[in-house]
C-alpha cells in the first residue's frame, strides 16, 4: 500500500507499507455490469438510494452527475438507469459498468448475490 520511494509523483510523507487483511472477502474479476445490476433490481424490486431519495447535502432524489465540462452538479434524474443525464449523447449499454450506486446499494447487491 502506498507508493515506492522512486515514484515521481510521490507525495510528501507518503511511504510504502504492508497491510494484511485477516478477514475473508469476495472480489469480482470484473466490474458489475448494468445488466447484472438490472437482474438484481428486477429479482428483488430494490430501489437505489438515488431513486428512493436519501438526504445528501440538502438533496434528496438523484445524484451528482458529470456535466459537459467535466465537473459535477446535482441532478434529480441521475441514477444507475440514467447515470449521465447532463450528457445528451451518452447511451447506456448493458455491458457498461454500473455507476451511480451508493455503498448501501453495492452492499445490498452483494448480499443478494450471496443468497
Say what the pTM is: 0.75
**Cα separation values, 23 from 20, 31, 42, Å:** 9, 22, 31
Q: In the beta sheet, which residues pair with residue 66? A: 72
The domain ranges of the chain are 34-113
Tell me: the pLDDT tens digits for 7-56?
887 877 788 888 899 999 888 899 999 999 999 999 999 999 999 998 77
pLDDT tens, position by position, 58-90: 778 999 999 988 899 999 999 999 999 999 999
- Can you read off the three cell numbers belonging to residue 113? 448475490
Mean pLDDT of all residues in the chain? Answer: 90
With bands split at pLDDT 50, 70 and 90, how would you rate the model's confidence at 112? Answer: confident
Amino acid at each position: 500500500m502506498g507508493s515506492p520511494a522512486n515514484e515521481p509523483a510521490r507525495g510528501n510523507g507518503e511511504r510504502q507499507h504492508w497491510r494484511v487483511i485477516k478477514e475473508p472477502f469476495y472480489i469480482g474479476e470484473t466490474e458489475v455490469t448494468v445488466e447484472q445490476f438490472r437482474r438484481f433490481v428486477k429479482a428483488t424490486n430494490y430501489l437505489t438510494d438515488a431513486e428512493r431519495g436519501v438526504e445528501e447535502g440538502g438533496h434528496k432524489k438523484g445524484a451528482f452527475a458529470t456535466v459537459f465540462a467535466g465537473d459535477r452538479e446535482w441532478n434529480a434524474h441521475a441514477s444507475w438507469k440514467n447515470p449521465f443525464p447532463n450528457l445528451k449523447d451518452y447511451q447506456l449499454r448493458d455491458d457498461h459498468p454500473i455507476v451511480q450506486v451508493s455503498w448501501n446499494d453495492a452492499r445490498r447487491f452483494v448480499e443478494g448475490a450471496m443468497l
